Amino acid sequence: MRKTLMFALAAIGLATGTLAPAKLAFAGDQLTIVSWGGAYQMAIRKAYFEPFTKTTGIKITEDEYNGEIAKVRAMVESKNVSWDIVDTDAQLSIRGCALGLLERIDWKKLGLDRAKFMGDDKSDCGVPGTIAATVLAYDKNKLPNGPKTMDDLFDTKKFPGKRAVRKDPSGILEWALIADGVPVKDVYEVLRTPEGVDRAFKKLDTIKKDVVWWTSLAQAVQLLADGQVVMTVAANGRIADAVKNSGKNFEIVWDAQRLAAGIWVIPKGGLHLDDAYKFLAFASKPQPQADLARYIPYGLANKDAMALVDPAILPDLPTAPEHMNRAFYLDAAFWADKGEEFRQRFTAWLSK
């Protein structure tokens, strides 16, 4: 659902990467920034949007989406670009860059050192913002002796009942191979072979009738909260928010988590390019990134930000050392290349 939120003006300007002498923003200075909604959008609103508007006087209008590249393509190709910045994933950043839908980032203009950032997956069109994890989670009230590893997602004898998984091959194919005995470090090597793909789908066959497929991050958490599933694959931040703000007794299984970068991109042809760069420079600084961790437990792309995070929060971040058992990074370049092919096969598999 579309939501619009506009923030108050202030009278201090921001030069790229550094604070500038005070100046009034023009009345027309504004940005439309699109993100994923829910607890995460609330977090970036508090850590980035509100402080940025207070500092620069540039108004921000928010919108939400589910990661569809089709919307960005339609805007760019029709030369009617209403989104100035899109908070997306590395796959869309790589694909959108290759298709000419996104602005190539000038890191000098940002005033930032690209080497200090994690998770950009070599895309020339994106600025990494967060490192999130897709994890396995369950309700301890309903499953006191719950799963201990991602392999348990596939163990319907030990853990009978429905489990919720995103309706997309990305992620579940990797976990299928891991549960079938492939070492984490070899997952993408195996998945690059026809035999490896067949092996992953064969493992998926073992839980097909027990899966509830979700299409939005909020739905994953709701299915668990309603007791429709005994466990779910979900974003770690959504699970943490349900525990902190909704009193849920959910538990995250920190095993074989898939780490992925959240990437800021600029659709080509937007009307507020300079202001977009000002926002990216602001949101990429260490302190605003460290502030984000106060509102939602995601890892931070700027390596300098970790030193500023409250030590009490660090254990909740997916990149904490104690949570890195069998963790792996999403190979965004692989999925940008193979995603369409695998999704066609996945859709055909679902229909059987």
Asked whether the beta carbons of 296 and 289 are under 8 A apart, the reply is no
* Phi (first) and psi of residue 238, to 5 degrees: -65, -40
pLDDT at 217: 87
**Residue bearing tokens 């009617």:** 80
Q: What is the 3-state secondary structure (H, E, C) of 16-47?
A: CCEECCCCCCCCCCEEEEEECCHHHHHHHHHH
- Is the pLDDT assigned to residue 9 strictly greater than 60? no
Residue 74's alpha-carbon distances to 2, 138, 268, 269, 343, in angstroms, are 18, 39, 11, 12, 21
Q: Which two tokens stand for residue 152?
A: 């348990």
- Is the pLDDT assigned to residue 25 strictly greater than 60? no
The reply to whether 14-131+261-315 and 133-259+332-351 are identical in fold is yes
- Residue 79: CB atoms within 10 A of its CB come to 8
Q: What is the 3-state secondary structure (H, E, C) of 268-286?
A: CCCCCHHHHHHHHHHHCCH
pLDDT at 7: 33
CATH number, span 133-259+332-351: 3.40.190.10
pLDDT at 121: 58
Asked whether the beta carbons of 237 and 220 are under 8 A apart, the reply is no
- In tens, the pLDDT along 199-245 reads 999 999 999 999 999 998 899 999 999 999 999 999 998 999 899 88
pLDDT at 323: 87
- Is the pLDDT assigned to residue 332 strictly greater than 50? yes
Mean pLDDT of 135-160: 96
**Whole-angstrom distance, CA of residue 74 vs CA of residue 244:** 38
- Residue 114: CB atoms within 10 A of its CB come to 12
CATH number, span 14-131+261-315: 3.40.190.10
Domain ranges of the chain: 14-131+261-315, 133-259+332-351
- Is the pLDDT assigned to residue 15 strictly greater than 90? no
- In tens, the pLDDT along 266-312 reads 999 999 999 999 999 999 999 999 999 999 999 889 999 989 999 99
- pLDDT averaged over every residue in the chain: 89
- In tens, the pLDDT along 156-166 reads 999 999 999 99
Least confident of 3-12, 119-128, 174-183: 3-12
- Is the pLDDT assigned to residue 12 strictly greater than 60? no
- In tens, the pLDDT along 34-72 reads 999 888 899 999 999 999 999 999 999 999 998 888 999
**Whole-angstrom distance, CA of residue 265 vs CA of residue 340:** 21
